[in-house]
A and B are shown apart, each in its own frame.
Chain A
Amino acid sequence: MVKAAGTFGRSGSHDYILLRASSVVIFLFTLFMIGFFASTANVTYEIWSGLFSNLWMKVFTLLTLTAVLIHGWIGIWQVLTDYVKATGVRAFIQFLFSVGLIVVWLAGLFVLWGV
């Protein structure tokens, strides 16, 4: 068995399940947003902030941001292990992306907190 510590899941099948499950969440959020913009003719600040002041919307958004974090982490790790062979360079790029994904998640959390 190949040992890999850089990815998110505990095993190959865990990574696989996390990727698919997170993509379902991201897809549902995308679908919801398309539906929202299609059904709302004039998106004003009040409508937008009103939408995100709902507890369910905050949970849905944070859930999607968590899905993006997991999906992005595993996906970037897979691409980097394919194409970047120098371990130091790969670790550095993985670090940048992982930190970036966590920053996006934290920023989303604080934005939602403030609505």
Chain B
Amino acid sequence: MKKYTFSVYRYNPDVDNAPHMKEYTLEVEDNQDLMVLEALIKLKEKDPTLSFRRSCREGVCGSDGMSINGKNGLACITHLSSLKSDKIVIRPLPGLPVIRDLIVDMSQFYQQYEKIKPYLINDDKTPPARERLQSPEERAKLDGLYECILCACCSTSCPSFWWNPDKFVGPAGLLHAYRFLIDSRDTATEERLDELDDAFSVFRCHGIMNCVNVCPKGLNPTKAIGHIKSMLLSRAV
């Protein structure tokens, strides 16, 4: 049996004056490897007051983003063995207000996502009878952009988002912004760029690539932000 020690962030605003870390131990069979989410579910069986979000348990819904040993990730697709330590520290995603334990209030994150108008805008007066066609090359430009599941691991690992969550769109929102800017079927490119051309929305990104480091889907928001900056600059000069 392998013994793991979990130190989990606990905070229930109805009961606690301040957050605290609570220690748990969990024994795992030698030939067994659990995901962090499975471990948390086992801990919850022992202590039902422990609260966290989860849904699909396979890295698709993006519900169980949390800080695992100091790095944001999805608990459901993070193996205990990959952490290379028998001491595991679990905290909520940094920078967002904590509702309870590992559950954060994602309102600011979603407000930034809403700001970039995450839907196709097309002012074509005569829409095609069946569908808007794209060439394989045009469609390929969306690869690496549309796969984002909005787990918020990237935005909450970004210091620029920590300091200005009300003004800086954040890596997740900007990845989606570029997904629509580069879409051949979208006709609102200029309007979208107008909305982003201030000192905060895009340009507060200084390219430190924390977002790339933590993205559980292996996406590259920094690259997308670089493309948005290029689009803004090529119109400006």
Q: Which DSSP category, helix, strand, loop or mixed, fits chain A's interface? A: helix
When distances are taken between beta carbons in the complex, the residues of chain A under 8 Å from B235 are: 13
Q: Is the CB of A7 closer than 8 A to any CB of chain B? A: yes
Docked CA distance A1–B199 (Å) = 9
Docked CA distance A82–B206 (Å) = 12
Q: State which residues 8-27 of B face A: CB under 8 Å.
A: none
Q: Is the CB of A50 closer than 8 A to any CB of chain B? A: no
When distances are taken between beta carbons in the complex, the residues of chain B under 8 Å from A96 are: none
When distances are taken between beta carbons in the complex, the residues of chain B under 8 Å from A78 are: 199, 204
Chain B 122-137 interface mask (CB, 8 Å, partner A; 1/0)? 0000000000000000
When distances are taken between beta carbons in the complex, the residues of chain B under 8 Å from A13 are: 197, 203, 229, 232-233, 235-236
- Select the stretch in A14-22, A37-45, A63-71 that faces chain B: A14-22
Contact: A82 with B197, CB < 8 Å? no
Q: Is the CB of A100 closer than 8 A to any CB of chain B? A: no
Contact: B201 with A2, CB < 8 Å? yes
Cβ of A2 to closest chain B Cβ, rounded Å:
4
Q: Is the CB of B167 closer than 8 A to any CB of chain A? A: yes
Q: State which residues 32-88 of A face B: CB under 8 Å.
A: 78, 81-83
Q: A12-B203, A17-B233, A17-B237 are in contact. Are A3 and B198 (CB under 8 A)?
A: yes
Q: A1-B198, A4-B199 are in contact. Are A12 and B232 (CB under 8 A)?
A: yes
Q: A11-B236, A17-B233, A17-B237 are in contact. Are A1 and B197 (CB under 8 A)?
A: yes
Q: State which residues 195-237 of B face A: CB under 8 Å.
A: 195-204, 229, 232-233, 235-237
Chain B interface, number of residues (Cβ within 8 angstroms): 22
Contact: A1 with B203, CB < 8 Å? no
Q: A1-B194, A1-B195, A17-B236 are in contact. Are A12 and B164 (CB under 8 A)?
A: no
Cβ of A62 to closest chain B Cβ, rounded Å:
24
Chain A residue, CB-CB nearest to B194: A1
Chain A residue, CB-CB nearest to B231: A13
Docked CA distance A40–B194 (Å) = 51
Docked CA distance A12–B236 (Å) = 10
Q: Is the CB of A9 closer than 8 A to any CB of chain B? A: yes
User: How many residue-residue contacts, CB under 8 A, span A and B?
Assistant: 57
Cβ of B143 to closest chain A Cβ, rounded Å:
27
Cβ of B230 to closest chain A Cβ, rounded Å:
10
Docked CA distance A9–B232 (Å) = 14
Q: Is the CB of B160 closer than 8 A to any CB of chain A? A: yes
When distances are taken between beta carbons in the complex, the residues of chain B under 8 Å from A15 are: 199, 203
Contact: A16 with B167, CB < 8 Å? no
Cβ of B118 to closest chain A Cβ, rounded Å:
17
Docked CA distance A3–B166 (Å) = 12
Docked CA distance A83–B163 (Å) = 7
When distances are taken between beta carbons in the complex, the residues of chain A under 8 Å from B197 are: 1, 11-13
When distances are taken between beta carbons in the complex, the residues of chain A under 8 Å from B195 are: 1
When distances are taken between beta carbons in the complex, the residues of chain B under 8 Å from A16 are: 203, 229, 232-233
Docked CA distance A16–B234 (Å) = 12
Residues of B in contact with A (beta carbons under 8 Å apart): 159-160, 163-164, 167, 194-204, 229, 232-233, 235-237
Residues of A in contact with B (beta carbons under 8 Å apart): 1-4, 7, 9, 11-17, 78, 81-83
What are the 7 closest A-B residue pairs judged by CB atoms, nearest first?
A12-B203, A13-B236, A82-B163, A2-B200, A2-B198, A13-B232, A2-B167
